[in-house]
Structure 1
Amino acid sequence: MRLEFGVYWVWPKDDQTVLLHASGINSKKERRKKLWNAAVIAIFWSIWIERNKRIFDDAKEDLNSIWEKVKYLVALWVYDTRFFKDFSFSDHCRDWSIWM
């Protein structure tokens, strides 16, 4: 279990469950919904990149480094949207609690 995106959560058993949950998330805050949707894509992307490193480069990163990359990707993808315009890019990367 890990505290990320303002909640404690465990990755579901299969990817289909994640995608179904992401598309049907019922949040009162539109910002949180947008953040979660970007986070799901960033997680899949980061896992794919890590998979390729392990298979083709015989290298791997620790879990904390992967999470930092996920956070960076989410910040990169959402910081200039209308839901997050109040914050700078560095705010997004540094402090996730401001988004909730």
Structure 2
Amino acid sequence: MKSNIAYLSFNQDEKLVQNLGMTVLLVNRTTILSRVIRQLHQENYELVYSSPEVYSYFENEIEKLSVDVMPIIILEAQTSGSLGQNRMKQLLAKSIGIKM
């Protein structure tokens, strides 16, 4: 069964997210992220998670694509990670129309 949730990573070995049923997409620093996200949208993916490293590298592009195409959320190994918490706050604020 194909998952409709993707995970963007620079690392090929992502056993945990694969075990959770996510489709792992390997990206690199030369990837045209907008093409990848638009393709996922066309293939009816509902949500995209990103490793903290991918988010940090593509932050500006991810911010724009999250608004224009589909939600992109950071998935950190630590539930108390500040990068993931800040990203969730930004998404929530944008979804209810608050400017931060």
TM-score (norm 2): 0.34
Greater RCO (Cα-Cα under 8 Å, separation 6 or more): 1
Q: Which one has a larger percent helix, Structure 1 or Structure 2? A: 1
Larger Rg over CA atoms: 1
